[in-house]
A and B are shown apart, each in its own frame.
Chain A
C-alpha cells in the first residue's frame, strides 16, 4: 500500500470540517422572555416526542439558610409536594385558620421553652398538648396526597433537587397536559401550603443517619466544606445539620419561600413539544398574576484567605476515602473553562487520564478517582474537588501524595499538544453530549440563563473550552492547586484499640 493511500481517508473530511456555526438549530428554536414580575422563561421548541422537559431553577439554596436553620432550603424537596392552599384542602379557609392556630400554639410553647431554667414544667406540658391538639385539628382538614395525585393523573413527573446555590424543580410533561403543569406549578409558587411540613421535617430528621451519616462519601464531603469554609455559608451541608432540622418551623419556611421563591429569582427552561407562543400565553396566564417581589441580595460574606493547608481526619472502618479540595474562584471567572479542561486531563475518558492512570493503573493506590471542578456550588468561590477511594493495603497519605505528584506535573510545564487536545475534546464532549434530549437541553438552558442571565452563554462556554491553552492550564494549576488553598479529608480506619493478643486459639 502506498503511503498516499494510507493518509487519504483523513483528507476526505476537509469539506465536512468547514467552519460552520455550531448549535444552529438550537439557536433558531430557542425563545426567551421575561414576565413583568421578573420571572424568566427560556423555551426550546423540539417536536419529536409528544412531551417536554421543564427545569424550574430557583436561586434559593443552602447558602440562604438563616443561621441556626440549616436544612431549611432543603426541606422544600418534600414540602412542595404537599399541595397549595386550595389543592389538598378539604376546606381551604378552615384549614388555613387551623394551621395558623397550630403555629400560634407552637410559638407559645417555644416562648416558654426559651425561658430555659425558668420554664414552668406544668405549663410546658399543657402547651405541648395544646400544640399537638391544634396540629391534629389542622391535619384532618388537609389531603396532602392530592397534589402528587394530580401530577400522577397527568403523567407529570416532579422532582425537587436542592443544592448549595439553587433548587431545581424537574418535570417531564406530556405535551397535551401543558396547561396542567403551568397551573399546578404556578399555584405551588404563589399559594403553597406546607401542610405536611412537620411530618416532612421529622422524616428528614429521623432518616438523617441513614441518608448522610452512614454514607461515607457524604461524611467526607461534609467535613471537606466544613473545614475549607470557616465563614462563607458553603460551610454548612446542603442537607442541614440534624439538630437544626429537628426544630425548623413552618412559619420560617413560609418566610424563606416568600423571600427566595419569588418570580424574579426564578428561571424556567422548557425543552420539547411546546410552541413558544403557547408557552408564553400559559406563562402569562398562570405565572403572570404572581406579584413582583424584591430580589433577595446575594451572599456578601467573603471567605477569608486561607494561610496554609488544612487536614481533617475521620475514623471509619467501613471505607478508606480521601477528599481534597482546592479553593478556586467562582464560575464567572475566566479560569472556569481552564479548570474544566484540567479536570478532563486528569480524570476524564479512558486510558490517558493522568491521575487515573497514575493512581489506579500504575501504582494501584486508588480504586477510584473523581473530580468535580466546582463543589459545593458555583456562584461564589468554591472548591476544585478530588475524591479518591483508597485501594486496600494503602493509605490516604499515599494517595494524597500521589495526587500532589500528578498536580506537580501539571504545574511543571505546559501540557503537550495531544494531552491538551484530549482534555479539550473530553470537556467539550461532556457539555455537548448533554444537548441531545429534552432533559439535557432544559437543564443546560436553565443553568446558563439562571446563573449568567442569558442562555447564549452556552455558546460562549462551548467555544471557550476549545480555546483553553496549555499555558493557561499550567498557570491555573500553579495559581489554584497549591498547598495554601488545599483542604484534605482523610477517612481512615481507626487505629487498633488494644494490641492484638497472640495464642489462645490453639
Chain B
C-alpha cells in the first residue's frame, strides 16, 4: 500500500535505510550575484511577487484543554481531538537529574530508562514489548534534567488494553536486575563516547560553565547504583500528586475522565511533596580551553545567560540573536560567507529557558590557529548592534523566523497538548507561547540596541574553545583556563562502594566451590580442555579451543569472524600471539585480555583464593570481585544453586576504548564430579553480542606446558 510510504519513494528512499537525502530545500544555486532586478514582467501573470502585501503573521492557537484533579492528587489535562482515531499523551513527573547526588550521578537517567525497559510487576520486558506491538501501541519513558515523563500512543479501538499497559508501566515498574545491568552498560558506553565529538564537548562545557547544575555521570557513580537506589528514586517521585497526565486525541472528555478515575484512583502514595525544582546558579565571564590534539578545526562558543519565558527581555534577546546569526541573511552568516573571512559557520541563538535562563550563544568554527578570530568577529558584530539599531527589514525578518520556529510544531495536537502540560509543569500560564510571540512582535529597533547594551556586555561572555592548542589567548585579555575532560578511569566501574570485605569474599567463593563439587576436588584438577562455539548476533560463528594447565598456563586457539585464525598463549605473566603462520609477543591490550581470560577459565575462576596475585573481595551475599593487576572480574552467584551465574568485566579495544562485558552462565553439567557451565550469553555495552555453547570439556588429559608454549 503506497499510502503508507513515509517518503515519496523515488528509489531506495522507500526503504529508509540507505536512501538518498532529499534535496536541500530551498536550494540555492551557486552564488548568483544579486543583480538589480527590473520590475518583473506583469502581462497575464497577475501581480509580481514583489508587489504582494502580507497580513501580519497570525498567532498559533493552542487546543482547548479540560483540567481535572483526582482525589489522590493526580492532575489530568485532557484535549479532545477527533481528527484521527488515535490517543497520545504523557505523564509528566516532577523529578530530574537535579535531584541526584554526585555519588549516584546517572541515577535519574537509569531510572527513566528502566521504567519502560525493566518490565513491570505483571510483565517481563519481552512480554510488554510483544503486547504493545500486538496493539499497535507505544510507551516510552525517560528522566531529563528537570522533568520525567512516560509517554503513550494508542489506536482508539485498542485504547482499553493499551491504557492498561500504560498504567502498569507507570505505577508498577519492576526494574529487573538484568535490565539494570544492561542499562548501566549503555550508560557506560555513553560515558566512554562523550568526548568523541568536539562540538558536543564544547556545548556541554559551555553550559556547565554558565549553569553548573547537575553532576556528570561517571563510571564510578553509575557502578555504585544498586537496584534499591532505582526503586527508591522511582518511589520518591512517581506518585499521583507529583504527576500531570496529559492525554490528547479521539475520546469524549467526560468518559475519559471517569475511566482515568477508575484506573488511576487506586494509585496511592504517602510521599511528602517534592520540593520545588532548584534553580541553577549562573556564572559569567572567563575563558576556557579544552585541548584536543585530534581536533582538525577550532571550535569556539561564547555565551552569557539569556532569559526565561517570563523575562521581559527574552523576546528582544531572541530577536537580537536572530538578527546576528540565524538564517542565511543574518549578519554573522553574511560575514562568514565573505572570502576574506577566516571564520566558517558563524551562528547565534538565544532560546528562552523554561526553568533556568537559556543561553545567549554565539558559535563559530575556524581552521587551525584562528580560534581568536571567531571571538573577534562575533564581538565585532555584537558591538555594531550595540552602537546602532538594525534595519526595519532585519527586525521583520527576525520576528518572522522566531514566529515560525515557535509556532511550527504546534500543528500536531498531541504535541500542542504536551506544550500545555509543560506550561502547567513549570508554572507558566497556558498561553505563554502566544504571550511570548506577542512580545516578539512588539520588539522595536531601540529594544535591540538596549538589550545588546544591557544584557550582552562582551566582558561578561564566557568563551570556550575546543582545539588542537596548548594555550588560548582571549582577545579580550588573559589566558583561557585549561579544562581537563579526561574521563575518570574505569576500574571503579566494576567495583562497588558497598560493603566489601575479604572475609565475605572468601565466604562467597567457598560457597561457589562447594556448589561446584568442593575445593579439594577442584584443586585436584591439573588441566582442562574446553571447546566453545560462539554464535554472533551480527552474524558469524567463532570456534575456540582453550587449553588450561593449573594454575596459570593458557592456550586459546580459535577462528574469529572477520579475523581468521588466532592463537594466544600465556604463562600467567607474558605470552605470544599468532595467526597460525607468524607470531609475536603478546602486548596490551591483548595481553590484558588474555590474562583476564585466564582468570575467567571456569576452573581457574573458582580457585582464585589459591592462585598467587589474585585478591577476592565480597560485594554482597552473592557477589565477589576478583582482581589481578588491572584485570577485574565481578562474579555473581545464582542465589539458589550457588554456582556463578554472571560475570562482569571490561575489555579494551585496540584503541583503548573500554567495552563492558556481561556473561550469563547456564546449563551447568557434571564433568568428572565437577559442575561446569556449558552455555553462556555474552553482552557488550548492554547489547547482546553472542551465544556461546560449550561442545566439550575434558579434564586431566595430561597437557604439558612445554607443548602448549610451542609456537605454530
The answer to whether A50 touches B54 (Cβ under 8 A) is no
Contacts A161-B10, A392-B539, A422-B134 given; indicate if A505 touches B20 (C-beta within 8 A). no
- The smallest C-beta distance from B188 to any residue of chain A, in angstroms, reads 24
B10 with A438: CB separation less than 8 A = no
Q: A218 and B18 in contact (CB under 8 A), knowing A12-B160, A372-B9?
A: yes
A43-93 CB contacts (< 8 Å) to partner B: 46-51, 53, 74, 77-78, 81-82, 84-87, 89-92
CB 8 Å contact bits of B240-261 with A (1 = contact, 0 = none):
0000000000111001100100
CB distance B133 to A87 under 8 Å? no
Q: Is the CB of A86 within 8 A of B407?
A: no
- Given contacts A22-B250, A239-B10, A392-B561, whether A90 and B35 have CB atoms under 8 Å apart is yes
Known A23-B84, A25-B81: A432·B155 in contact at CB below 8 Å: yes
Which single residue of chain A is at the shortest CB-CB distance from B540? A393
CB distance from B576 to the nearest CB of A (A): 14
Q: A50-B59, A161-B7 are in contact. Are A17 and B160 (CB under 8 A)?
A: yes
The answer to whether A325 has its CB under 8 Å from any CB of chain B is: no
Q: Name the A residues within 8 Å of B404 (CB-CB).
A: 50-51, 155, 174
- Chain A, residue nearest B167 (CB): A9
Partner of B12, one of A84, A87, A218, A461: A218
Name the residue on A nearest B59 (C-beta): A50
Complex Cα gap A179–B51 (Å): 11
* Residue with the highest number of chain A CB atoms closer than 10 Å, among B130, B408, B537: B408
Which chain B residues border A444 with CB–CB below 8 Å? 3
In the complex, residue of chain B having the shortest beta-carbon distance to the beta carbon of A191: B45
Q: Which residues of A contact B20 (CB under 8 A)?
A: 211, 215, 218
1/0 per residue, CB under 8 A from A, across B140-167: the answer is: 0000000000000101111111011001
Say yes or no: is B416 at the interface (Cβ < 8 Å to chain A).
Answer: yes
A199 to chain B, nearest CB (A): 8
In contact, A174 and B27 (Cβ under 8 angstroms): no
A183-B23 in contact (CB<8A): no
Chain B residues contacting A436 (CB-CB under 8 Å) are 83-84, 86, 88, 412-414
Within 8 A of B (CB), among A166-199: 166, 168, 170, 172, 174-177, 179-180, 183-184, 186-187, 190-191, 196, 199
The answer, yes or no, to whether A431 is at the interface (CB within 8 Å) is yes
Q: Render B7-35 as a binary contact track against A, CB cut-off 8 A, 1 for contact.
A: 11111101111111011011111001011
Tell whether A429 is near chain B: CB-to-CB under 8 Å: yes
List B contacts of A24 (CB < 8 A): 82-83, 250
A160 at the B interface (CB under 8 A): yes
Residue of B with least CB distance to A25 = B82
Residues of B within 8 Å of A437, CB to CB, are: 411-412, 415
Q: Are A447 and B85 in contact (CB under 8 A)?
A: no
A157 pairs with B10, CB closer than 8 A: no
Taking CB atoms and an 8 Å cut-off, the chain B residues in 403-421 that contact chain A are 403-404, 407-416
Pair A160/B23 contact, Cβ less than 8 Å: yes
What's the nearest-Cβ distance from chain A to residue B398, in Å?
12
- For A349, the closest partner residue in chain B by CB is B133
Assembled-state Cα–Cα distance A15/B258 (Å): 10
Q: Is B328 located at the chain interface by the 8 A CB criterion?
A: yes
Q: Is the CB of A394 within 8 A of B539?
A: yes
Q: B538 and A49: CB pair below 8 A?
A: no
Q: Do B15 and A372 touch (CB < 8 A)?
A: yes
Contacts of B19 in A (CB 8 A): 217
Q: Does any Cβ of B come within 8 Å of A156's Cβ?
A: yes
B275 on the A face (CB < 8 A): no
Q: How far is the CA of A177 from the CA of B126 in the complex (A)?
A: 50
Across the interface, name the chain B residue whose C-beta is closest to A422.
B134
Q: In the complex, how many residues of chain A place their beta carbon closer than 8 angstroms to a beta carbon of chain B?
A: 147
Whether, in the assembled complex, B57 has its beta carbon less than 8 Å from a beta carbon of chain A, the answer is yes
A13-B250 contact given A25-B82, A174-B404, A378-B2, CB 8 Å threshold = no
Residue among B1, B32, B403, B535 making CB contact with A336, cutoff 8 Å: B1
Closest chain A CB from B550 CB (angstroms):
33
Contact digits for A136-177, partner B, Cβ 8 Å, 1 yes 0 no: 000000011110111110011111111110101010101111
Flag if B49 contacts A144 (CB, 8 Å). Answer: no
Q: How many whole Å from A268's CB to the nearest CB in chain B? A: 15
- In contact, A433 and B411 (Cβ under 8 angstroms): no
In the assembly, what is the distance between CA of A421 and CA of B131, in Å?
11
User: Scoring B residues 413 to 445 as 1 if CB is less than 8 Å from chain A, else 0, what string do you get?
Assistant: 111100000000000000000000000000000
Contact mask B446-471 → A, CB, 8 Å, 1/0? Answer: 00000000000000000000000000
Tell me whether A352 and B134 are in contact (CB under 8 A).
yes
Question: Quick one: which of B280-330 are within 8 Å of A by CB?
Answer: 328
| Chain A residue, CB-CB nearest to B400 | A155
Which residue from chain B places its CB closest to the CB of A29 in the assembled complex? B83
In contact, A49 and B57 (Cβ under 8 angstroms): no
Tell me whether A36 is interfacial, beta carbon within 8 Å.
Answer: no
Which among B36-44, B209-217, B367-375, B611-619 touches the partner chain? B36-44
A448 and B3 contacting across the interface, CB-CB below 8 Å? yes
Instruction: State whether the Cβ of B58 lies closer than 8 Å to any Cβ in chain A.
Output: yes
The residues of B that contact A462 with a CB separation of less than 8 Å are 85
Given A90-B38, A217-B18, A183–B49 Cβ distance below 8 Å?
yes
Chain B interface residues toward A at CB < 8 A: 1-5, 7-12, 14-20, 22-23, 25-29, 32, 34-35, 37-38, 40-41, 43-49, 52, 54-63, 81-86, 88, 126, 129-130, 132-137, 153, 155-161, 163-164, 167, 250-252, 255-256, 259, 262-263, 328, 400-401, 403-404, 407-416, 535-541, 561-562, 581-582
Task: Please name the 7 residue pairs, one residue from A and one from B, whose CB atoms are nearest each other, closest first.
Answer: A391-B539, A13-B160, A349-B133, A425-B136, A393-B540, A429-B136, A161-B8
Supply 19 A–B pairs (Cβ within 8 Å), ascending by A.
A10-B164, A12-B262, A25-B83, A48-B410, A49-B408, A49-B409, A50-B59, A85-B41, A143-B35, A151-B26, A162-B10, A177-B54, A217-B12, A217-B18, A350-B133, A370-B16, A372-B14, A451-B2, A505-B582
